[in-house]
A and B are shown apart, each in its own frame.
Chain A
Amino acid sequence: DTGVSQNPRHKITKRGQNVTFRCDPISEHNRLYWYRQTLGQGPEFLTYFQNEAQLEKSRLLSDRFSAERPKGSFSTLEIQRTEQGDSAMYLCASLDSGTGRTEAFFGQGTRLTVV
């Protein structure tokens, strides 16, 4: 499978715990995005990387959230001291910006439930 891969698919955690999600983009895609989606809403932008550089972070990304892409390949999104309001689907997408194409490929997402 050469698509965007996200792990885990589902995560249930207790409030106050830390969680980490992983995204493996399509090989050689230099651009990687993280989005959050709640039920009935469109995906909300969180942050994106160009190779290993984090170029932009949304105001939604509080101090409890941190994302990394250390080698410009896979990325991790960590949420510290989770809150019930963090419950959502976390989506990752990748894109090859060098082709001029606009098509961002999304993964299946990680569904987080904070209890």
Chain B
Amino acid sequence: GESVGLHLPTLSVQEGDNSIINCAYSNSASDYFIWYKQESGKGPQFIIDIRSNMDKRQGQRVTVLLNKTVKHLSLQIAATQPGDSAVYFCAENSRLPYNTDKLIFGTGTRLQVFP
């Protein structure tokens, strides 16, 4: 069935280091992928997205890489800050073959930043 999963449930990094959060997806027909950040007690917050015809996209301190060959997605956060501590979800949108338009979320990775 359709699924989006994450390799590591918890990632601990030192402030100032770079963070890499990984995600595997199963539907090769997904149109685009999104990374969300969720802080405790809040709804998910959009970070960055990437369409299936791209390999890389950069934002402010974040980079998303897409490897369609192995159906793998990663989020890189440069110079990780305490405010980056949260749970990060990858999500995919699969209009085909399901003829739908919804986001399917993975389980999430908790990022802990220590001084």
Contact = CB atoms under 8 A, between A and B. Distances in A.
Contacts of A56: 100-102
Q: Is the interface of B mostly helix, strand, loop or mixed?
A: strand
A55 B98 CA distance: 13
B103 interface: yes
Contacts of A33: 102-103
A25 interface: no
A23 to B, nearest CB: 11
Interface residues of B, number: 23
Interface residues of A, number: 24
B42 interface: yes
A115 to B, nearest CB: 20
Given A40-B107, A42-B89, A106 B102 contact: no
A48 interface: yes
A45 B46 contact: no
A107 B43 contact: yes
Contacts of A40: 107-108
A43 B41 CA distance: 13
Which of A31, A42, A105, A106 has most B Cβ within 10 Å? Answer: A42
A44 B107 CA distance: 10
Interface stretch (A12-20, A68-76, A77-85, A96-104): A96-104
A42 B106 contact: yes
B43 A48 contact: no
Contacts of B49: 102-103
B62 to A, nearest CB: 14
B101 A97 contact: yes
Nearest to B104: A45
Interface of B: 4, 32, 34, 36, 41-46, 49, 89, 91, 93, 100-108
Q: Nearest 7 CB-CB pairs, A to B?
A: A42-B105, A106-B43, A103-B46, A102-B49, A45-B102, A106-B44, A43-B105
11 contacts: A4-B43, A31-B101, A33-B102, A40-B107, A43-B105, A48-B101, A91-B43, A93-B43, A102-B34, A104-B34, A109-B42
